[in-house]
A and B are shown apart, each in its own frame.
Chain A
C-alpha cells in the first residue's frame, strides 16, 4: 500500500514572546496541578479550613440576615432584620461605645507604644531585657490578664490596686468598671497593657531601620530629642504608623472580650456594650440569631471600609 504523506502546512509565524513581558505562559490547570502536586496537596488543607471555618459561616451569616426562623420554618424577610436591629435603642449605644473605645484606643493604645519604642531605642544597655519586659503581657492569655485587672486593679473598694495607689497619693478613688463614665477608659488601659508589646516590637524594628546619619545631622543642627522625633523619627516611620493605625481601628472595633470579662457583658447602664457584644447578646441571649447576623453584616460593611483604606496603604508600600 502506497503511503501518502500529507505535506505539513506551514505554520503562520506567531508573534515571538517579548523578552520584556512578565506575563507567564498559559498552561492548563491540570498541568499546573501536576507540576506542583505536593504544594497543591498542602493548599487543599488550607483552603478546606477556610471554606469550613471562615467562608461558609460568613456566607451563611449573610443569608441568615435576610431570613427569620420561627417554629422551625425559615422564611425570607428581606431587610426586616436590618430595620429591626437599627431601630433597637442599644444599636446606637453600641456603635457610640465602640467608636469611643476606638478613639481612646488610638489616643492611648496607638501613641503610647510608639513612645515606649522610641524610649527603648534610646537605651544603650539592657535593651533585650527591657524588650522582654514590655512584651511579657502579650504572652499572658487575654482572659487571665483581664481577670487580673477585674479583681485586683479595678476592685472598686479601697483594697483595689489602683484605688490603693490613688489613696496613697491623696487623690479621689474611682469605681472603675462600675462607673459608667470610667468603663471605657478603664477598658482601654487594660487593653493597651495587654497588647502593647506587639506594637512596640514593630515600631522598634522600624526605628532601627532609620539611618543613624539623619540623627547625627539633626544633632549637628542643634535639634533636641523632641525635634529629632518630630523631624526624623515620625517622617521616617510614617508608613508603619499609618498601617498600625488602620490595624488598630479594625482590631478595636471588634471589641468583645474586654466587656465580656471586665464588665460582665453590658456593664453599668450599658456603658460597655460594644457592637460585637450586642451581636452575642442578640444571638445567644435573646434568641435572635437572624438579628445578630444582620448586625454582623453591618459590622462587616463598616470594617470593610476601614480595610479598604488598609489595603490601599499596603499597595502603596508595595
Chain B
C-alpha cells in the first residue's frame, strides 16, 4: 500500500472510530451461572457505592443474613456507581449483554429490555414459595411488568407525584403551610410571593433537560386530565388546549412573574441541589424526592412537606405514577431464578427486612414514615404489617405528608416509549423556560411530529 493510500485508510479508520465508537462499543460477557455442588450463585446489581457507608453496610449485612438463612445461595453484589439511576449506562449494559443475573430497571424500561432479548419470563417461578408476600403485591404493579401474559420483572418500588414545598420559605413569604396551593393559579400566586424573598430563590422550579423536562410535562398534563398518547398508543395527543395550558402556565411564571429563578435547563440533580440549599419554594415530585434532598443534597427533612398535585381549576385529574423492578437475565437456571426471587423477596418485599427494615433505618436518620412506596395492595396482610412498622418507627413528621396521603389523585402510568418521548418533550419545556419569545404552538407541533415519527418507526 502506498504511503498516501495508507494514510487515507488510517484517516478514514480514525474518523470512523470516532464517529461510531459512541454507538457500537458493546462487548458480550457472561455472568456466572454456577450451580456447582447444589450451591447456586447469582449476581445482583445496585449494591450501594463505597461512599454511602451506612447503606453499603446495611446491604452487606442483608447479604450475610440472607446467605445464612439460605446456605445454598451465594449472592455476588455488583456496584457500578449510578447504574441504577442512569438510563445511558443501563442501555449500554443491556446492549452489551453485561447486565447482572438479576438486574434493576425502571417501569418504563420493559419495552427496551424486551427488545434487547435479555429478560426471561419468570411467571412460573414468582409465587408464594419464592416470595411469601407475592399475593399481597399490588396486581396493578405486576401488570406493568407483564407483556402478552408473561411476567418479566418483580416490582420493588412505586411512586406518584405531588406538590413538594418548603415550609420555611412558605412561612417567610407569609403563606399558610397547612393550606398549600390546590390549583396552578394558586401555585403561581405563591411562587410570586416566595421569589419576592430575593436571594436567588425560585418560587417554583421545573426541569427541562436530560429527559426530566418531558417526564414532568407528562405529569403536568395528567394534572389537567390530558394524556401524552392516544388511547391506542399510536399517535401523540398533547398538541391541544391542555398541552398549551401546561406550557402557558410555565411561561407565565418564568417570564410574566419571574418567579422560577434565573437558571434553567435543570436536570434531576440540579433542581434537588437548589432545593437542598433552600433556594426552591415548590416543585412537583414524589415523596422520595424529600429523601434525596436530605441524603444526597444536604437539605433538612423538617423543612419539607407534600400536598396533592394541583389541578388547573380544581383538584388534579390525574398524576403520574412510576417505579422500579428487578428483571431476570435470560438463560438462568430454574434454581438461579428461584434464588434471585428469594433475594428480592428478602431485600425488597418483606416488611421488617431490607428496604422495609424501619427499626434499622430510624437511628440512621433515613426517613421512615413517608407515604410511599406502596407496593402492597390495599387491605393485604403485608400492607398492614408494613404500615404498622412504618408508623411505629416514623422519624419524620408524618403530618408533613398528611395532605398528600389523605387526598389521593388517580394515578396514571407512563406512556409507551416513555424515555424517548420525554427526550422530545424536553425541547418544548426548555423553549418556554429559556425563550421569552417562544411560540407554544410551534413547540408543541414540532414535538408532536417528532413523537409521531418515533411511534411510526417503533411500530
- Which residue numbers of A lie inside 8 Å of B, CB to CB? 50, 53-55, 57-58, 60-62, 64, 69-73, 84, 87-90, 155-157, 159, 175, 177-180, 250, 254, 256, 263-270, 276, 279-281, 283-289, 291-293, 295-297, 299-300, 303-304, 307-308, 310-311, 314-315, 318
Contact = CB atoms under 8 A, between A and B. Distances in A.
Contact of B265 (A69, A159, A177): A177
B423 A61 contact: no
B210 interface: yes
Contacts of A264: 209-210, 265-267, 270
Interface stretch (B22-30, B32-40, B187-195, B393-401): B22-30
B21 A90 contact: no
Nearest to B211: A285
Contacts of A69: 115-117
Given A57-B24, A285-B419, A293-B20, A178 B15 contact: no
B3 A89 contact: no
A269 B443 contact: yes
A72 B113 CA distance: 9
A284 B87 contact: yes
11 contacts: A58-B16, A58-B17, A69-B117, A157-B262, A178-B265, A178-B434, A265-B209, A269-B438, A280-B22, A303-B18, A303-B19
User: By DSSP majority rule, is chain A's interface helix, strand, loop, or mixed?
Assistant: helix
Contact of B115 (A71, A276, A280): A71
B64 interface: no
A89 B450 contact: yes
Interface residues of B, number: 63
User: By DSSP majority rule, is chain B's interface helix, strand, loop, or mixed?
Assistant: helix
A76 B95 CA distance: 18
Contacts of B406: none
A300 B22 CA distance: 12
B19 A299 contact: yes
A284 to B, nearest CB: 4
Interface of B: 3-4, 7-8, 11-26, 87-88, 91-92, 95, 111-112, 114-118, 200, 209-211, 262-267, 270, 330, 417, 419-420, 423, 426-427, 430-431, 433-435, 438, 443, 446, 449-450, 453-454, 457
A57 B423 contact: no
A76 B15 CA distance: 25
Contact of A268 (B14, B88, B431, B454): B431
Contacts of A314: 7
B115 A310 contact: no
B21 A57 contact: yes
A127 to B, nearest CB: 33
Contact of A284 (B91, B118, B200, B330): B91
B88 A285 contact: yes
Contacts of A157: 200, 262-263
A269 B24 contact: no
A219 B16 CA distance: 48
A155 B262 CA distance: 9
Contact of A178 (B16, B264, B443, B457): B264
A250 B15 contact: yes
Given A177-B265, A287-B419, A307-B11, 8 more contacts: A53-B17, A58-B21, A268-B265, A279-B22, A286-B419, A286-B423, A297-B20, A304-B16
A267 B430 contact: yes
A280 B88 contact: yes
Contact of A270 (B12, B115, B330, B427): B427
Contact of A175 (B95, B434, B438): B434
Contacts of B453: 84, 87-89
Contacts of B423: 266, 281, 285-286
A72 to B, nearest CB: 2
A308 B443 CA distance: 39
B430 A289 contact: no
A160 B3 CA distance: 52
Given A87-B453, A155-B263, A304-B15, A266 B21 contact: no
A282 B107 CA distance: 20
Q: Which 4 A-B pairs have the closest CB atoms?
A: A72-B117, A61-B20, A264-B209, A61-B24
Contact of A286 (B8, B25, B420): B420
Determine which residue in B22, B87, B116, B118 has the highest number of CB atoms from chain A within 10 A of its CB, and name it: B22
Contacts of B265: 177-178, 263-264, 267-268
Contact of B420 (A288, A292, A299): A288
Contacts of A64: 23-24
Contacts of A295: 23
A269 B434 contact: yes
Given A264-B267, A286-B454, A308-B8, A61 B210 contact: no
